[in-house]
Structures are given as C-alpha cells and as structure tokens.
Chain A
Amino acid sequence: DSGVTQTPKHLITATGQRVTLRCSPRSGDLSVYWYQQSLDQGLQFLIQYYNGEERAKGNILERFSAQQFPDLHSELNLSSLELGDSALYFCASSGLQEVRYTFGSGTRLTVV
C-alpha cells in the first residue's frame, strides 16, 4: 500500500455519461496530481492541486474538471464521455515543493 488511495478500481460506463474518480493522498502530502495513461499517449499530466487550490494545468480537456477538498482528497470529474477517454487514470501525491511522487493504483475507465 503506497498510502495513496484511488476509488473505484474499475469503472465501465457508456458514452455521454459522467463519472467521478476519487483520490486520497498520502498522509501529510498537500499536492495531488492527476494523470491519464493510454496505450498510445503514455502518461499525460492533467492537473495539479495544492492544499485546495489549482496549481498547474496540463493536457486536460474542457469536459474534465477536478477539485481538492479541505480534507485534501481530490476528485476528477469526466463528463460527456467518449470512447477515447478509456484509459487508466492515476493520482499521485507529494509533499511541499517536491516532485517526488507517490502514485495510487489507478482507476481503469472503460467507455463503451
């Protein structure tokens, strides 16, 4: 157990639907990062939150959004889902001003 918890582990949904992925960071870590892993694109950085505030944005689609709550857990919301959104979504956390990540086990999203 890395200390970063992601739920659910697997999600199957239909095109056009909306899903929410959840991440609880390792105890003491204030930063949460979301990544999308697909076979052709590798690991793509989506977004980072630090202590509740958005810190950096990567290749995140407008249909996707995220937030970090006061208890530091984060949620990634994916809406109007398309087949191409099928991927592994990883969350990682790190301490203050550090990019040494601890990754969660990921959520495997399948859009049918």
Chain B
Amino acid sequence: AQRVTQPEKLLSVFKGAPVELKCNYSYSGSPELFWYVQYSRQRLQLLLRHISRESIKGFTADLNKGETSFHLKKPFAQEEDSAMYYCAHPDQAGTALIFGKGTTLSVSS
C-alpha cells in the first residue's frame, strides 16, 4: 500500500539552526511529491512541489528516488516557521493525496 512516513512527530530547534523534516514514501513509479504547511490548525497551504524545484520561504526539498525520500530543509530556522508540516503524494490512481501524519516544527529563540 502507498504510504507516506514522517518519522518525527515533533522537531524542536533554536532560531538560526538548520532544519530537516524527514519524509519517506512507498510508491511504485515516479510520484509527484508535495509539502504542505499548516499554521495554528488553520487551512493547509502548499509549500513545495518537487516538480517545480522552487524554494519557498527558504525551504527546499530534493527527491531521492534511491532512498525514497523527500526531506524538507531550511538552513536557518525562523520563529515564524513554527507550524505543522505534511508530506504528501497522490495515491496510485492519481485521484487523491495521501498525507503523512505530520511533523510539528517548533522554533524558539
């Protein structure tokens, strides 16, 4: 079954420290991968999609097919980055997104 695994429920870092939020997926073929961010239990917002290879708010993510990973990285965390982060990819039929359980990032000064 397709699965998105985010092994860390909570990641706490200090402001200015590097951040890496882990995401591993199980998917046969070439998935399209996404990171969504949710601030304070509000609506989810698209942060990144791997095919666009863009950097949003200083975050980047690289698809590693060998390790089936799509880790989200930022070199210097800011307090406003504190939020819940979800990794996702489409189901095999391509009809719906499957989300990981999410990682809460807490950035403190």
Contact = CB atoms under 8 A, between A and B. Distances in A.
Interface residues of B, number: 23
Contacts, number: 58
Contact of B86 (A2, A33, A43, A88): A43
B67 to A, nearest CB: 22
Nearest to B52: A100
Contacts of B98: 45
Contacts of B45: 2, 103
A58 B97 CA distance: 10
B101 A41 contact: yes
Interface string A91-112: 0100001011101111000000
Contact of A42 (B41, B42, B43, B99): B99
Interface string A76-101: 00000000000010101000010111
Contacts of A41: 101
Interface stretch (B14-22, B55-63, B68-76, B88-96): B88-96
Given A43-B86, A43-B102, A45-B98, A106 B43 contact: yes
Interface residues of A, number: 23
B86 A58 contact: no
Contacts of A97: 94
Given A56-B91, A99-B90, A105 B97 contact: no
A78 to B, nearest CB: 19
